[in-house]
Amino acid sequence: MRGLALFIGDIRNCQNKDQEEKTVYREMAKIRGKFQNRALSGYDKMKYTWKLIYMYILGYDVDFGHEESLNLINAPKISEKCTGYIATGIMLNEKSDQRVFERVINAIKVDLTCGNQICEALALATVGNIGSVELATQLDEIVIHKAFSEDRSIPKQVRKRALLTLLSFFKRNRASYNQEKWLRGFKFLLTFDDMGVLLSLYSLILGTIQVMGRQGYEDIVPILIEKISHMNSSAYNNQQQGYYYYQTICPWLQIKIFKILQLFPPPSDNGHQQKINEVLLQIIQKTEVTKNVNKNNSDHSILFEAFNLTIHYRQAASETLRKNIQHMLDKFISVKEPNIRYLALETMCKLVQSSSNNQFKIQGHLQTIITSLRDQDISIRRRALDLMFSMCDSRIAGEVVNELLDYLQENDYELQEEMVLKIAILAEKFAENLNWYIDVIIKLIEFAGDYVGEDIWFRVAQIITGFGQAEPNVNLQKYAALKMFDIMSMPSLHETMVKVGAYVLSEFGYSIADLPGKGIPKQFQLVNRHFFIVSPTSRGMLLTAYMKMLKNHPPLRAQVVPLLEQYKDYWDEDIQQRVCEYLAMLELSDELGEEAQQLMNEALDVMPNFNDSLQTNSILNRRILKLKVEKGFTINSDEVEKSIKQGMSRYETNNTVSSALSQNNPSLLSGMDNLNLGSEPLQKSSKTSVSQPKQQQQIVQENNLLDLDDLLSGNSKSNLGGSPHDLLSSIADLQPPSIGGGDEILNHKFYMTHADRFSPQQTIKLGQQTLDMTVSNAQQWKSLLPFSVKEGVVYQDSNIQVQVSIQIIKYLERLLFTFSSSQGGQLSDIQVRIPTSLYGDQLEMQCSPVKYSDQDPQIVMMIMLKETFAVSPSMKVQYKTPSGQTNQFEMRLPIFLNKFTEAVEMPTSDIFVKTWDDYTHNRPSSFQKMDVIFKNPALHVSHTDVLNKTANFFKNGMNLKVFQDNEWIVRGVGQVNFKPPSQVTFPSNPNDMQKPIIAPIMIEAEFFKEDISEFKISVRSNDSKMIAQPLINFLKFYMQPNQ
């Protein structure tokens, strides 16, 4: 087609994107006009349709031409029909015009029953490509008949396409699945010799068993073994049957057979086992490296799948076979070709993990693996790290850990988090003495403190403290105290190191207090020098450490009490509560004497031993598995199940220090018992050192400005009667049991049936709720937090009322506060304090002097967003009433991430879907991808009411552009604006504002037809700013009326 060729040439000759867009839109306008001519010839329809297909492939939105594609499908000429089907399969989906979609289905039904194999093949290919639920519902009977019918007159081209179409249907909708019928069809089709039919059949069998399980399909194993044995026989090769790819007999067919066999245990029949062993040995022995790249690729693809099957069979595979695999893998891990080296490292890792004893010697290969650890390819580096971790034993543990520590200093940021976890696990598993373990963890914190999470240093605390009823390891505690004393004398430390040092010295510092220069006053001085450089959470821990030191050395009271007094009115509630409790303890000990002193000593006693169950159930192993899911790697469920059952007994066997650990030292990480990939709190045995925080105050909301409470309180117009319901009964309802925006989501029933609607990489975990109602102005603050609310009362009591007016431009928020007396008259001596130092990294805040006039006093506060933050800042106010009484209060400010959002003018929801899919499937794990399952908050009303309210919240509460194409899903898109580094000062007017740093935000709320008791909330964003988790927490907060 000359016109099509010229158009493609014009596109390729465009100098820039703008020129290309002009060319495309000009051609679109021309085609739209041509399609209005009903006398257009079939050739011209084909030409213009091909142009539309090309535009669509380039990424442009083509919203017309479906009628013409349908006309081409109904055309008598095969060339026109082929063009129509291609256009329909590429550009049409279930979201397209429903009338066109139904007409396409009717046209496909006609072609599927016309008897022309070309038309039937074209129709099946198109149906399989679209693969929608509606197509599966209406056409499954026809497709199943074409696939499984024992009528051998059905053309092979039609049958193999029917099998692939059925696989596409099965992935979307399993309603048509009937095991008895399908198994009968599988057995019949396995008798075919046609390679195309068998390849399609094996794809369907593999997809079916992976989802539905192997039970009931055991009878196909002997058939597959006979087939693979026959394909590799000399008689078969001499006949030159089948399809050869570079002199290799149908490599894809052999790979499929090996993959299916890996889903079943080794055959119980000795004859079948001997046959498959012979086939595997023949493939391993005959595979050679040639100069032809394509030949190498095909042969080695079969070879490595044969390796995987041999590893799966374990001892059922012959000893010769296993030795040959070991020999070849030893050679492959050092080759230059990166693909083969990657597969060899991955396969060797599987081989080691499947072995029941340490029969593989790696000392000779350790340097080779270490070399791969420094490869330029991140995938090879990751496989080398996995192999070192899996093959490590007590003989080489020290060397492996030292090598990993050296590599940790090379700042491989993509591997650091995983490497830190694995070093910590290896150090515990194979520690010949626990002093070495302590040294390794200290080095970890020193080299990569940002990646040493609480679970790691919590584990150190557990090990030093002890487990169960055993006596403490005094020598270990003394060694740890000496080590941390020396480290705490350094001028600059990572915050994690400060926390470890504070814990160790406060609990066990008394054991070195008698040594020269290491008394408790000196320990207090070393810890206190880091007090003002750590976060509020760590400060609370340091305050507890000071009290424990004070218990052991009472003269410290003169230094500790003034510090506590300074934080008695601190903005952070946890620190304030701790301080008040500690001061009360001290006051009671003064007033009541010995009895109160004894009570304080009990509260501040040495940390009791941790629960003995933690000794054999470390959370670090679960973190490894969780991290792999977050990074997007596939986790083999069989291996996980096996690890749970075996308890990683191999590591228990290799542990040289197990006898010593039984004397109240940690045993090995015995596996993933009670697998739970979420975080879990530390469990202690009996005593607690400080009281628990008070219960959060329960405040009932009123007058929600987004009209959300009508729905949430059961007063919706759709409510058909009965008593009001608590539609979101607790935070647990929005954060359902064991489902929380992490790897757990991959086990949910919705993921099983709608995997395409989820991200296989859950890169953001749900986290802890950071918005709460435990503030004095909770009700007013919550009413002002939605984006659409611009003014209102932010605080009110019997003496004062504070009104606020809100203005927002990009990353700048301006708050005008007006202070008025509730009893008449004018307030005076108003003083305000804002937490500029605490939020210095996240917010830039500036407050004007108080302006007094004839009217009520006012102040102006300016805020610029620099980084994300989890908790809205508070402001302290002190004032004098008209009667002269001095009062003070603290109120939370209406500042949160949603205030800095801005709707994005995305033309259509199709562009949203394309961008969403790109973020979900193509972008790296650094991008924010989060899916959370919420329970339906309103089962007593229509799910559309819930979805409509959610859409309203996206628009008014979060300032997003909303798309609501149907009754099952609502989408929102926007961006969060951050202050650029070039904006040094606060702008005096909008023209002085610099171009903001933009973090895109895309969010979906979706119900699924088969179960509306739950729905999915998903968030996608790039890696510029971490905004997903705070905004999900913001959404949760507003859908909980009673929290």
- 314 confidence band (pLDDT: 50, 70, 90): confident
What homologous superfamily is domain 778-895 in, according to CATH?
Gamma-adaptin ear (GAE) domain (2.60.40.1230)
pLDDT in tens, 68-121: 888 888 888 899 999 998 998 888 876 777 788 788 888 888 888 888 889 999
From 44-53, 274-283, 357-366, 504-513, the region with the lowest mean pLDDT: 357-366
How many CA atoms, within 13 angstroms, populate the side-chain half-sphere of residue 619? 17
Whether 278 has a pLDDT exceeding 70, the answer reads yes
pLDDT in tens, 159-179: 999 999 999 988 888 877 888
Tell whether 3 is in a known binding site: yes
Tell whether 2 is in a known binding site: yes
Query: CA–CA separation, 18 vs 22, rounded Å?
Result: 6
Q: What is the pLDDT of residue 767?
A: 57
User: Domain map of the chain by residue range?
Assistant: 496-608, 709-768+899-1038, 778-895
Three-class SS state of 793: strand
Tell whether 501 is in a known binding site: no
pLDDT: is 111 or 357 the higher one? 111
Nearest to 978 by CA among 1035, 901, 895, 894: 901
Whether 881 has a pLDDT exceeding 60, the answer reads yes
Whether 783 has a pLDDT exceeding 90, the answer reads no
Average confidence (pLDDT) over 703-732: 32
Whether 724 has a pLDDT exceeding 50, the answer reads no
Contacting residues for 663 by C-beta, under 8 A, at least 6 apart:
470, 471, 473
Tell whether 51 is in a known binding site: yes
Query: CA–CA separation, 975 vs 1000, rounded Å?
Result: 4
**Maximum alpha-carbon separation in the chain:** 110
Q: What is the pLDDT of residue 622?
A: 55
Whether 496 has a pLDDT exceeding 90, the answer reads yes
Give the amino acid at 887: N
pLDDT in tens, 530-562: 998 888 889 999 999 999 999 999 999 999 999
Three-class SS state of 874: strand
Q: How many CB atoms lie within 10 A of CB 927?
A: 20
pTM for the full model?
Answer: 0.57
Average confidence (pLDDT) over 148-154: 88
Residues 500, 484 contacting (CB under 8 angstroms)? yes
Average confidence (pLDDT) over 378-384: 90
Q: What is the pLDDT of residue 770?
A: 61
- 334 confidence band (pLDDT: 50, 70, 90): confident
- 769 confidence band (pLDDT: 50, 70, 90): low
Average confidence (pLDDT) over 268-289: 89
- 356 confidence band (pLDDT: 50, 70, 90): low
Q: What is the pLDDT of residue 23?
A: 92
> The CATH number of 709-768+899-1038 is which of 3.30.310.10, 3.40.640.10, 1.10.3720.10, 3.30.930.10?
3.30.310.10
Q: What is the pLDDT of residue 293?
A: 87
Residues 557, 521 contacting (CB under 8 angstroms)? no
Whether 409 has a pLDDT exceeding 70, the answer reads yes
Q: Is the dihedral of CA 754, 756, 761, 765 positive or negative?
A: negative
Residues 710, 725 contacting (CB under 8 angstroms)? no
Cα–Cα separations (whole angstroms), residue 572 to 535, 578, 875:
11, 10, 12
List, as one string, the DSSP characters of 575-619.
HHHHHHHHHHHHHHHHHHTHHHHHHHHHHTSPPPPBPGGGGG--S
Whether 66 has a pLDDT exceeding 80, the answer reads yes
- 360 confidence band (pLDDT: 50, 70, 90): low
Whether 679 has a pLDDT exceeding 70, the answer reads no
Element (H, E) at 889: strand 886-892
Tell whether 181 is in a known binding site: no
Chain-centroid distance, C-alpha 297: 34
From 221-225, 466-470, 869-873, the region with the lowest mean pLDDT: 466-470
User: With pLDDT > 90 as the criterion, what percentage of the chain qualifies?
Assistant: 26
Tell whether 49 is in a known binding site: yes
From 49-63, 604-618, 874-888, 1008-1022, the region with the lowest mean pLDDT: 604-618
- 685 confidence band (pLDDT: 50, 70, 90): very low
Whether 509 has a pLDDT exceeding 90, the answer reads yes
Whether 726 has a pLDDT exceeding 70, the answer reads no
Tell whether 56 is in a known binding site: no
Tell whether 23 is in a known binding site: no
Tell whether 721 is in a known binding site: no
Q: What is the pLDDT of residue 705?
A: 29
Query: CA–CA separation, 342 vs 333, rounded Å?
Result: 8
Q: What is the pLDDT of residue 487?
A: 94
Arithmetic mean of pLDDT over the chain: 80
